[in-house]
Structure 1
């Protein structure tokens, strides 16, 4: 019997799997009447940025921090979006479907990944209520999510 990978990044299948997940998810988002308005300024680069963020959160390469501004930049990107709870819940539905489609079928793995998204979307919704340019303070390093949740 093989041991489970030590990180969620390894368990999901690395960067390629996270790109597939992001691509599948955003295809659904952009076609969704509840969520499409939130992503009015969407560009294909967003898919790569999300995959790079998730890689870092799940203990893979630290490219989001090294190249894209880290946790602070992610929070700033959500300012002013005015995300509603209806939109957050719909986001979770579409992401849960995408996780089931694109990631390995391991129940614990999928549960941990979805738990991260639930935690993260609550933060994004809270931050989105503040206008662009709001000082988000120093949020600390990119959060890390493992087999036991937030570390």
Structure 2
């Protein structure tokens, strides 16, 4: 069992752990015939670093993402306006689980990280299928702990 005073971010290896996980996930999704479609029109060359910073912030790490890259509203807008895509979401989650294997994360940490990714993929990132213009300003990166979503 993980000590309750250790954040999910710290237990996953901090900044280096998030970067390794983001890299492993990105490699997995680019190799997946369904999920890769989301990247078919190109992507920021710093996608992996941005993703690692985002996950790190969401999982109890420093506010690197919001300090350097943008807001939750920006992230949700990037993922909005693409219709409902449950198969892609399911396959992205399967890629995430495989990435957890790739970087050697297991046990309670794996369960917690899987729960976070599944929740984020199917809620906040899928909340506005019709248009990015539907996303409100002022959203904050949701925080996730060993017990799930942290109340704002």
The answer to whether the aligner puts 1:77 opposite 2:78 as a matched pair is yes
Deviation at 1:113, TM superposition (A): 0.6
Which residue of 1 is the match for residue 25 of structure 2?
25
Alignment check: 8 A CA contact 1:21 1:103 kept = no
Q: Which runs of 4+ in 1 moved over 4 A?
A: none
Normalised TM-score (structure 1) = 0.88
- Contact 2:80–2:127 (Cα < 8 Å) also in 1: no
SS of the counterpart of 2:127?
A: helix
The residue that corresponds to 2:12 in the other structure is 12
Say how many residue pairs are matched: 148
TM-score by structure 2 length? Answer: 0.88
**2:139 is matched with which residue?**
140
Shift of 1:35: 1.0
- 1: distance between equivalents of 2:15 and 2:97? 18
Alpha-carbon spacing, 1:102–1:83, altered in 2? closer, same or farther (3 Å): farther
In structure 1, the residue matched to 2:92 is 91
How much does 1:121 deviate? 0.4
State whether residues 55 and 61 of structure 1, in contact with CA within 8 Å, keep that contact through their aligned partners in structure 2: yes
Q: Return the offset for 1:4.
A: 5.6
**Is 112-121 or 134-143 further displaced after alignment?**
134-143
Instruction: Measure, in 2, the Cα distance between the counterparts of 1:135 and 1:2.
Output: 39
Partner of 1:125: 126
Indicate the RMSD between aligned Cα atoms, in angstroms: 2.0
Q: Write the distance in 2 (CA, Å) between the matches of 1:33 and 1:57.
A: 28
Structure 2 spans left out of the alignment, 5+ residues: none
User: How far does the alpha carbon of each residue in 1:125-148 deviate from its partner, in whole angstroms, 9 at most, with x for none?
Assistant: 232x1224x141145321110110
Work out the CA distance in 1 between the residues paired with 2:147 and 2:2. Answer: 19
Partners of 1:137 and 1:2 in 2: CA distance: 36
